[in-house]
Structure formats: C-alpha cells, structure tokens
C-alpha cells in the first residue's frame, strides 16, 4: 500500500520530504469522544487539530490539551528539529524534510530519516480515557537524545489561545511524573516519562492555521509550555511519553498502545472483504463512542457534536452492517433515553444546555428501529420492552392535532412541523432568515411518517395491541391515499419538495424546486409512487442532482444554484443546501435504483462504481467528508470526516448491493 493514501483499511503515504504529499489529514479516536488529528506533517491547519483533544464530558465538551510535542533529536552531535509549523509571512518550518513516510497500520506512525538512522514515532489514545501515548523507537547505530516540549493551548476546540498572565505556572514533580494545572477550570494534566524534565514555563506565539483562513476571521494562536522532557534512547530501543487529563490510565504504555491497536484491528472485516468495505468499516468505528458511560455516535470530526438525527441515520451503517448488534442496541437505548414528551431533541446538550425538540430526529428513530428489528427480531427483549413503547409514545405525540407545537397531523393526515426551528436536515438560516425555507409539508417527512405508521402497525399487531395497530394503519392509509395528488407536480414531472399545510386554505402553495428530498421519499416508501413516477424521479436525479461525490441539494439547472461551498460563514451557509453535493444521499440513490432494477448486475456494478468514487480521496485518510462542491472538480468541503457519509456509503455497499 506504500505510496497510495486511498488503499485501506491501513493507508500509508510515502512523503520523502515533500510537504504537498503530507497535506492530507489523519484521525485517531478513543471511543469516548477524544481524538488526535492533524496533517501528516503534523503542521496543524485547523484550530481543532491536536495530539490530545480531550472530551471532558465524554463524548462531548472537547478541549485541545496537547497540541504538539515539539521534537528535537540529537544524533552524533547534530540536532534534527522535526516540527513543521506555519507562522505569518514565512514558509513552513522544515521538519517535514526528514519525514520519510506515514502509515496508519492501525496506529498513526511517522518514520523519519535522520542521517543514517531512522526514528519511528507512534501515537495511541487510551481507550475510553483522555490520555495519549507517544512512542519513539530509534533504529540507528549509536544512542540519541530526544527533547520533547509539550505545547498546550488548554482551550475548547472552537476557541483560540492568546498569551496571558492567567496560566498557573506551578509544576509538581514526582518520580517519573510531572503534573501541571495551568487552567483551574479543567483537571490537572499529568505526564509520565522515563527521562529528565526541565521546567521552563513559556509561550510560543502566532501559530497560523491555513484552513481556518477560509472559515474564521481569526486564525492565529499562542501556546503555553511547562518545559522540556529529555529522553535518551539506545539503538533498537524505544521510549514513551504519556499525557493524561485528571489521572494516568491503568497499565504500562505498551499495554495501553496494544489495547488501542487490538481494538482497531478488530474493526477490519478481513482480507476476504473488499478494500472499500474494509476501509469504511474501520472508519465507521471512529464515530462510535462505546467506551464511555453514555454511548453515542459523534456526528463528525473535528467539530461536529452529537445530533440525534445524525446518530440515528448513521446507526445502521456504524453498527448493524458491521455485525455489532449488541452495540447497536446499547446505542439505541441511550438515544431513546433523551425522549421527552414523545420527541427526541435536536442534539445532545452540553452542560445542561436547553433541548430543542426535533420531530425530524424522532421520525428517523423509526427507521433505525426497523433496521435494528431486522437484525435481532421482534422478540428481542430490548425491542419489545423498551424500543416499542418509545415508538408508541412518539407516534401518539406526532399524530396529535390539539397541541399544534413542534409537530402535528393536518386535516389530510400529513405531518406538519413548526417553524421557525429547522424541521428537516436541509433547513438552514443566515442571520435568522431562512435560506431553504421548508416550513410546510416536506416530501421526505411524509414518507418517513408513512413508514413509521406502517412499522408501528405491524409491531403492534405482532405484540397483540390491536387498537394501536388500527390507529397506525389508519394514519398510514391517509398518507398513501393522498400523497400522489398532493405531491406530484405535472409541470416538472417530479414531486413538489414542500407544500403548504392546508390545501384548501386561501394561501396554499407548493414548491416545485428540484431537490433530493423526493429521492429520499422514494427510497424510504417506494409504494407511494407509481412505476412511471419512480422512473421519472430517478431520471431527473441522474441528470440534475447526481455527481461523483454525492447528490446536489439543488438542481444544477436552477438559477439559484450555488456550485461552490466557499466564502464567509453566511456565504457557506447559503451554499450548504443550494447545490452542494452530499455523499450520504448516495445511500438513497442506490436504494431506489436497486429497487427499480432488482437482479440487474450491470446496474449493480454501476452503483458500486459510484460508491467507490465517493469514498475515495477525502481530506482525511480513510474517511468521507460532509459534502463536496456541486461543480467540478467537486472539491471536498465542510466537516472532513462525517459519520453519516461513511455509514450510508457502507450500508449501501454492504447492504443494498451485498458487496463483500
């Protein structure tokens, strides 16, 4: 695999001192929200990069604790500085010149050529702990000295640090340990080492993050250091530096690294599986937070939190397609714990923040429940005793008509959601004003509601609750009977994206914009469409929405189409759903086209090629980004590693296509 960053599941890249080859990023997570992430050169280009980004409320509340371990290696009297940084107005520092290669096999590992010797640096996060182990192995003919200076911003991931007098300079020394607590708002940081520590608190200034130039008005920061560790290494030997928040993890550095290594190796389905399936399976585990008290699925790294909708959309691909049924049930149990008044919140709050009820996330709960039940059966105790009662409560809340708040059923039996809160995944606002206003009846919401009622009717019948079964069936029938007349647009030969709630009212309207919501509806509830309508939808999507990276959120023929996701925050938000291509939507494309052409191996091969193209070449090795530009060359944009992008591609490839 040497030389190719795209072959998996354990990619390796030959650098040979070329900075351009080292601009891709790596991601390594600990199963509890903490992560390590940077470019292969370890030249941070985002404020979110770091060697230890801890989750202080696992898996949330992320802080950049250890940004760099500034490394200087002295070999036979010559000092090699391995760091690569960008400072204002000058070329990057030259540490990358000695970088021979990077490999993630499965732990991130850097190989440096230093004279006639080779230094290997390997990084591992402790499973479930806010701790990182750095291992240095020297392959040379004479002993060397390694100097490590930790650079510590000690701030939340979205903030930047500035030199100030508030850092507590106290350093506590114990045998083979150093403890500092420069910021009293977070626990102390403890270093474990087998060398000499020389305390010298100081600030390094004006690190520049080039990717942040595109997202933020401020992109420079200062970092504090407590001092330097000096470690001697004999030929063929290795040394370690451990940094942990609060307390050191149990076990030796070797044991901690081996545990992380074995966990990652276990995510690989093996050489009998295809490269794509192996790569996506390993990537999927990055988002699964199972090694903490409250499991969850992180929406994306490095900056996305825990969205309940993203969690539930991603859950089948993250767990079920990888045979992790027990973990899927555990994750689903935690997700349903957040239900209040029959509705899930929009996202898991941090530190007691307010909860915004989300009918959208609640509808996706039914889809995740359907896939879970197919894996473990309706007689499973969790499905029967916990999940089913939750779905009944959700159904009763969603179908309500008296309390017209958050969601209710209109007089025709369709699901209405309440503005101004975003009601679907495609809603976006700039300065409080809607960009993609969908404040009526969204087409995919009606398919989700139809599917939810169908599911609950079947489950209630199975469990011997005829009253609930009859009510759910009646709700399903209302949508089925009225969907075609309400949503099919004869002028465009494509469904309306959104319509007004009450058709008979004087201000009724219908939005004929060509968007992918209709395809999502077709994939979820194909029985709502006549065969000729299915053909028309798929043909329109193919000609106006489909790209090699995902489906555009707006027809390329629309005068409002925005082909590039760039500019300031408001410009990017406007582009988000006005033409940007989203990889996760390919999952619904595959589902709909496969159902239209069952058994056609040529179609199956074509769909496999689409998925393989979308999964290749993102900013982060082995991962799929949130979206891409709608115009050529479809550059990857936004969050560089997203859960549902990975999960839906994996589910489509391994589930719908049954590819190995």
Helices (H), 377-442: 381-382, 388-398
pLDDT at residue number 2: 39
Percent of the chain, pLDDT > 90?
83
* Structural contact between residues 40 and 24, judged by C-beta atoms closer than 8 angstroms: yes
Kind and range of the H or E run holding 521: helix 517-524
* Stated pTM of the model: 0.94
d(CA 46, CA 262): 29
pLDDT at residue number 421: 55
All structural domains of the chain with their residue ranges: 12-264
pLDDT band at 599, cuts 50/70/90?
confident
State the average pLDDT over residues 355-380: 94
pLDDT at residue number 355: 78
Residues sharing a CB contact under 8 Å with residue 546, sequence separation 6 or more, in sequence order:
552, 589, 610
Quickly list DSSP for 431-461: TTEESS---SEEHHHHHHHHHHHHHHHHHHH
Residues sharing a CB contact under 8 Å with residue 153, sequence separation 6 or more, in sequence order:
50, 64, 67, 160, 161, 221, 223, 224
Higher per-residue confidence, 354 vs 522: 522
For 487, the token pair is 């949503």
pLDDT at residue number 427: 76
d(CA 153, CA 175): 26
- Mean model confidence pLDDT for the chain: 93
pLDDT at residue number 440: 84
pLDDT at residue number 1: 36
Residues sharing a CB contact under 8 Å with residue 330, sequence separation 6 or more, in sequence order:
290, 295
pLDDT at residue number 501: 82
pLDDT at residue number 528: 98
Instruction: Summarize pLDDT for 564-583 with one digit per residue, the tens.
Output: 999 888 888 888 999 999 99
Percent of the chain, pLDDT > 70?
95
Residue with tokens 């190989």: 111
* Structural contact between residues 581 and 630, judged by C-beta atoms closer than 8 angstroms: yes
* Structural contact between residues 131 and 256, judged by C-beta atoms closer than 8 angstroms: yes
State the average pLDDT over residues 3-28: 84
Phi-psi region of 116 (alpha: psi -120 to 50; beta: other; left: phi over 0): alpha
d(CA 411, CA 503): 9
pLDDT band at 3, cuts 50/70/90?
very low
Asked if pLDDT for residue 21 goes beyond 80, the answer is yes
Instruction: Summarize pLDDT for 459-472 with one digit per residue, the tens.
Output: 999 999 999 999 99
State the average pLDDT over residues 646-657: 92
- Cis link prior to 423 (omega < 30° from 0)? no
Residues sharing a CB contact under 8 Å with residue 250, sequence separation 6 or more, in sequence order:
none
* Structural contact between residues 483 and 528, judged by C-beta atoms closer than 8 angstroms: yes
Instruction: Summarize pLDDT for 35-54 with one digit per residue, the tens.
Output: 999 999 999 999 999 999 99
pLDDT at residue number 135: 98
d(CA 585, CA 315): 15
Judge residue 145's burial from the number of C-beta atoms within 10 Å of its C-beta, 0-12 exposed, 13-18 middle, 19 or more buried.
middle
C-alpha angle 562/564/567, rounded to 5°? 105
* Structural contact between residues 550 and 583, judged by C-beta atoms closer than 8 angstroms: yes
The b/e string for 13-32 (b: 16+ C-beta within 10 A; e otherwise) is bbbeeebebbebbbbbbbbb
Question: Which of these, 154, 130, 32, 60, lies nearest to 351 by C-alpha position?
Answer: 60
Q: What share of the chain is helix, strand, coil (3-state, %, to 5)?
A: 35, 25, 40
* Structural contact between residues 25 and 640, judged by C-beta atoms closer than 8 angstroms: yes
- Cis link prior to 9 (omega < 30° from 0)? yes
Instruction: Summarize pLDDT for 208-221 with one digit per residue, the tens.
Output: 999 998 888 999 99
Higher per-residue confidence, 594 vs 507: 594
Asked if pLDDT for residue 505 goes beyond 80, the answer is no
pLDDT at residue number 655: 85
d(CA 415, CA 411): 10
Instruction: Summarize pLDDT for 289-299 with one digit per residue, the tens.
Output: 999 999 999 99
For residue 27, give the 3-state DSSP assignment: strand
Neighbours of 505 (CB within 10 A): 9
For residue 573, give the 3-state DSSP assignment: helix
Residues sharing a CB contact under 8 Å with residue 196, sequence separation 6 or more, in sequence order:
229, 230
For 557, the token pair is 């023929």
pLDDT at residue number 506: 65
For 350, the token pair is 């941090």
Residue with tokens 């009724």: 508
Kind and range of the H or E run holding 466: helix 466-487
pLDDT at residue number 4: 44
CATH number (2.40.50, 1.10.3470, 1.10.287, 2.70.98) of 12-264 reads 2.70.98
Instruction: Summarize pLDDT for 542-563 with one digit per residue, the tens.
Output: 999 999 999 999 999 999 999 9
pLDDT at residue number 659: 73
pLDDT at residue number 127: 98
d(CA 285, CA 262): 13
d(CA 413, CA 479): 6
Sheet holding 636-637, edge to edge: 551-552, 581-582, 627-628, 636-637
CA 510 to chain CA mean position, Å: 34
State the average pLDDT over residues 402-415: 81
State the average pLDDT over residues 635-660: 92
* Structural contact between residues 643 and 318, judged by C-beta atoms closer than 8 angstroms: yes
Sign of torsion over alpha carbons 373, 378, 379, 382: positive
């Amino acid at each position: 695999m040497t030389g190719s960053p795209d072959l998996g599941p354990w990619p390796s890249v030959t650098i040979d001192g070329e900075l351009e080859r080292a601009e891709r990023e790596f991601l390594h997570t600990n199963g509890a929200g903490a992560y390590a992430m940077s470019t292969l050169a370890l030249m941070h280009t985002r404020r979110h990069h770091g060697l230890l980004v801890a989750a202080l409320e696992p898996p949330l509340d992320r802080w950049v604790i250890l940004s760099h371990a500034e490394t200087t290696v002295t070999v036979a009297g010559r000092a090699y500085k391995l760091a690569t940084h960008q400072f204002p107005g000058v070329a990057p520092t030259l540490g990358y010149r000695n970088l021979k290669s990077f490999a993630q096999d499965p732990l991130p590992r850097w190989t440096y050529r230093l004279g006639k010797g080779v230094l290997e640096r390997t990084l591992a996060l402790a499973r479930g702990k806010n701790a990182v182990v750095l291992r240095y192995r020297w392959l040379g003919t004479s002993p060397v000295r390694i100097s490590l200076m930790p650079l510590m911003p000690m701030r939340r991931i979205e903030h930047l640090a500035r030199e100030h007098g508030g850092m507590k300079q106290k350093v506590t020394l114990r045998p083979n340990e150093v403890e500092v607590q420069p910021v009293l708002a977070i626990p102390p940081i403890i270093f474990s080492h087998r060398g000499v520590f020389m305390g010298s608190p100081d600030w390094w200034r004006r690190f520049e993050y080039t990717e942040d130039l595109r997202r933020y008005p401020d992109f420079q920061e200062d970092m504090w250091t407590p001092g330097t560790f000096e470690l001697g290494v004999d030929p063929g030997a290795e040394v370690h530096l451990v940094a942990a928040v609060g307390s050191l993890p149990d076990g030796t550095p070797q044991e901690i690294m081996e545990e992380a290594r074995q966990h990652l190796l276990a995510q690989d389905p093996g050489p009998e599986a295809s490269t794509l399936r192996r790569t996506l399976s390993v990537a999927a585990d990055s988002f699964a937070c199972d090694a903490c008290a409250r499991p969850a699925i992180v929406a994306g790294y490095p900056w996305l939190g825990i969205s309940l909708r993203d969690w539930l959309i991603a859950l089948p691909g993250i767990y079920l397609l990888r045979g992790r049924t027990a973990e899927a049930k555990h994750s689903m149990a935690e997700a349903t714990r957040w239900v209040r008044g029959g509705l899930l919140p929009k996202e898991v709050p941090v530190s007691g923040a307010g909860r915004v009820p989300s009918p959208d996330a609640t509808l996706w709960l039914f889809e995740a429940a359907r896939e879970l039940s197919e894996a473990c059966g309706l007689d499973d105790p969790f499905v029967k005793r916990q999940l089913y009662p939750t779905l009944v409560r959700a159904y009763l809340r969603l179908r309500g008509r008296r309390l017209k708040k958050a969601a209710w059923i209109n007089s025709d039996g369709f699901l209405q959601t309440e503005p101004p809160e975003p009601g679907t995944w495609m809603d976006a606002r700039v300065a409080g004003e809607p960009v993609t206003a969908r404040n009526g009846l969204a087409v995919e919401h009606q398919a989700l509601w139809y599917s939810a009622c169908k599911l609950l009717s079947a489950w209630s019948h199975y469990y011997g609750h005829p009253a609930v079964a009859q009510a759910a069936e009646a709700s399903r029938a209302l949508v089925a009977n009225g969907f075609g007349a309400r949503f099919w647009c004869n002028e465009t030969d494509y469904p309306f994206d959104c319509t007004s709630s009450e058709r008979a009212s004087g201000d009724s309207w219908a939005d004929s914009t060509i968007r992918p919501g209709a395809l999502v509806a077709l994939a979820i509830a194909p029985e709502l469409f006549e065969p000729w309508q299915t053909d028309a939808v798929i043909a329109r999507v193919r000609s106006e929405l489909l790209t090699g990276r995902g489906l555009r959120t707006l027809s390329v023929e629309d005068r409002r189409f925005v082909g590039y996701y760039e500019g300031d925050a408001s410009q990017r938000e406007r582009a988000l759903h006005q033409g940007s291509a989203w990889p996760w939507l390919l999952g619904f494309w595959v589902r709909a086209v496969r159902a239209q052409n069952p058994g056609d191996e040529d179609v199956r091969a074509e769909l496999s090629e689409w998925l393989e193209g979308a999964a290749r070449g993102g900013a982060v090795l082995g991962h799929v980004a949130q979206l891409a530009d709608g115009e050529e060359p479809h550059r990857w944009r936004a969050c560089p590693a997203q859960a549902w992008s990975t999960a839906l591609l994996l589910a489509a490839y391994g589930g719908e296509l049954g590819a190995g």
